[in-house]
Amino acid sequence: MSLSYQESELIKPVSDFFKKQGYIVRYEIRIGFCRADIVAFKNNEVTAIELKIRDWKKAIIQAKNYQLGSDYVYLAIPLFRVYNVLRKAEYYLKKEGIGLLIINEKTCDVKRFINAKQSKKQIGTVSLEIINKNILKTSKYMFL
């Protein structure tokens, strides 16, 4: 990762983190009014992940939206930004059941800092079958 980080640089380490655990990973999936950066599927469970470098308050709003269509939701934030998020929002994340992944921008290691709780707000789900039917569209990410 370069000194001026972009969200797209966080996608590969986070997707690799989930793939190593046996998840099927898809990108930029619409859930409600937003698009989750990453959606991971395993054992009929859906996990939505929102990557953020800036504007973590917006990320929390997006994560709450994802809870309507997925079982678990995580925010993924680089290590150099996490102190501010933890200081101001750790209690809220835990209260809302939103998990937190921390990405070490130097090593690209991903650690689960706060475990997500299963969503009690879920009113629907994201279907891997429907996504796979639409996957013929070209992805903007080169490593897929």
Burial 55-84 (b: 16+ CB within 10 A, else e): ebeebbebbbbbbbbbbbbbbbbbeebbee
Mean of the pLDDT values across residues 18-38? Answer: 92
Query: Model confidence at 9, in pLDDT bands (50, 70, 90)?
Result: confident
- CATH topology for 8-134 is Trna Endonuclease; Chain: A, domain 1 (3.40.1350)
Query: Model confidence at 32, in pLDDT bands (50, 70, 90)?
Result: confident
Q: Helix, strand or coil for residue 43?
A: coil
Instruction: Tell me what pLDDT residue 105 has.
Output: 86
Higher per-residue pLDDT: 115 or 133? 115
Report whether pLDDT(83) > 60. yes
- Please name the helix (run of DSSP H) or strand (run of DSSP E) that holds residue 81, with its range, or none: helix 79-96
Report whether pLDDT(124) > 90. no
Question: What is the chain's mean pLDDT, rounded?
Answer: 85
